[in-house]
Amino acid sequence: MMTSTSGRNWENRLFTGEWLPGRGDSVPAREAATGATLAMLATADTADVAASVEIARQAQAEWAGWSFDRRAEVLRRVASLIRERAAEFNHWNIRECGSIPAKAEWEIQAVYEQAQMAAAMPMQPVGEVYPSAMPGRMNYCQRLPIGVVGVIAPWNFPILLSMRSVLPALAVGNAVVLKPDLQSAVCGGLLLAEVFEAAGLPRGVFHVLPGGPQTGADLVAHPDVKMISFTGSTQVGRSIGEVCGRMLKKVALELGGNNPLVVLDDADLEVASSCGAWGAFLHQGQICMQAGRHLVQRGAAERYIGLLAERASRLAVGNPATEPVHLGPLINLRQAERVEDIVQRSVALGARIVAGGRRRGPFFEATVLADVTPEMPAFSEEIFGPVAPVTVFDTDEEAVALVNRSPYGLAAAVHGSAMGRASALASKLRAGMVHINDQTVNNEFHIPFGGMGASGNGGRFGGPANFEEFTQTQWVSVSHKGIQYPF
């Protein structure tokens, strides 16, 4: 059994540059697998949010004024500390989120890479020079920090999906107020505060305010929070977008997905079924990029279903903190019951369970459903559980229509041996990311990441997109001599 190395200075505390009790209720941090209380968490109320934002507003200007090399050095120390404390982060990721150890280890490595990338950002070019039709004038555009950025992060990849916004926002000179989900507030927030504090980030530049929906709403509505970066459900994202739209506030939304994995009749079915299993069952299917719809051409369907079911049947389910398993618990009992309901309603409409299909408390078996049609909830809803619904199609045009029938457009995958055919099909899919002969759950820190349609508002995270998201552009013209106009 792993043990935490933390001194737990964060227990029942918020972080505003110093550790303070919250004015909100004290709530338990619970283990996903057992429901046991792991720690007690402070939560932020409206007054806490207001106080935190004011501290961040005052601290931001000084941080933005630091030389690029000083800011980069802090972020390099953050990267080193993330790696040094990996075992502690992994311990809490497993306990809070039900992550298996391999998933937790991958996530912390990805965060390390994000931190290294962010440390390189301050030394990149910050503007462009443009010509002018006016003699003696020079035009340049420079990137400036936005100010205070609010980050609202989810529980499924709580460290990575907070730090992919926190790190670049800080790198370009913003202050950040992070609201982690209460179901992952330790690994996805409070331990991060310890890291930034130890790395020498100036007091007040980074804040962690655990809380529920009202805490998030207060952060979104605060007039001195100039940008919101939100990762979560489409329903909540729409509400946040409405508020930010009325306030003319910048907002980056990375929302839900119902991602198709298309298997053509000339695909390597061993490879396709391996990708299908990974994309559908990794982290119990609780990933926005999960392969939620398996669209298989008729000639390949029977064998693909058999191979996928065979892979699903070999996956062990249990508590990842106490036994070697492939699938841990879903984040809570309510979510497990929701997945069960989607499966049962789809079966009632004619779907067939080929593998799995059973729930035990918060644990749900890797499940393969055959004979799924577009009218079934297993096709139309984002399941967010370890379920692979298989729908059969006949023509490439039918596959495209089935993919684009969904309002979501986050990720997609296409399997086929003829690259021209697979690429032509991929170009017709309404998705922000398409992977040929791979699975849907793909992320590389240096490549812009994001969706279309109901999966986001066009914002992107990663690589050069980080400069677009977390800065604002100012045009400056410089005339060497004053210009006399005819008035």
Interatomic CA distance for residues 211 and 27, integer angstroms: 9
Q: How far is CA 389 from the centre of its chain?
A: 23
Interatomic CA distance for residues 415 and 437, integer angstroms: 5
Question: CB neighbours of 457 closer than 8 A, spacing ≥ 6?
Answer: 237, 241, 251, 252, 253
With CA atoms as reference, report the closest residue to 451 among 473, 470, 434, 427: 434
Type of residue at 84: E
Phi and psi at residue 184, to the nearest 5°: -145, 35
Confidence at residue 353, expressed as pLDDT on a 0 to 100 scale: 98
Confidence at residue 4, expressed as pLDDT on a 0 to 100 scale: 43
Confidence at residue 483, expressed as pLDDT on a 0 to 100 scale: 86
Confidence at residue 5, expressed as pLDDT on a 0 to 100 scale: 45
Residues acting as catalytic residues: 254, 288
Predicted confidence (pLDDT) per residue in 240-266, tens digit: 999 999 999 999 999 999 999 999 999
Q: How many CA atoms lie within 13 A of 142 on its CB side?
A: 7
Type of residue at 257: G
Predicted confidence (pLDDT) per residue in 132-178, tens digit: 999 899 999 999 999 999 999 999 999 999 999 999 999 999 999 99
pTM: 0.96
Confidence at residue 152, expressed as pLDDT on a 0 to 100 scale: 98
**Sequential pLDDT tens for the chain (487 residues):** 344 445 789 999 999 999 999 999 999 999 999 999 999 999 999 999 999 999 999 999 999 999 999 999 999 999 999 999 999 999 999 999 999 999 999 999 999 999 999 999 999 998 999 999 998 999 999 999 999 999 999 999 999 999 999 999 999 999 999 999 999 999 999 999 999 999 999 999 999 999 999 999 999 999 999 999 999 999 999 999 999 999 999 999 999 999 999 999 999 999 999 999 999 999 999 999 999 999 999 999 999 999 999 999 999 999 999 999 999 999 999 999 999 999 999 999 999 999 999 999 999 999 999 999 999 999 999 999 999 999 999 999 999 999 999 999 999 999 999 999 999 999 999 999 999 999 999 988 899 999 999 999 988 999 999 999 999 999 999 998 888 899 9
Phi and psi at residue 229, to the nearest 5°: -115, 115
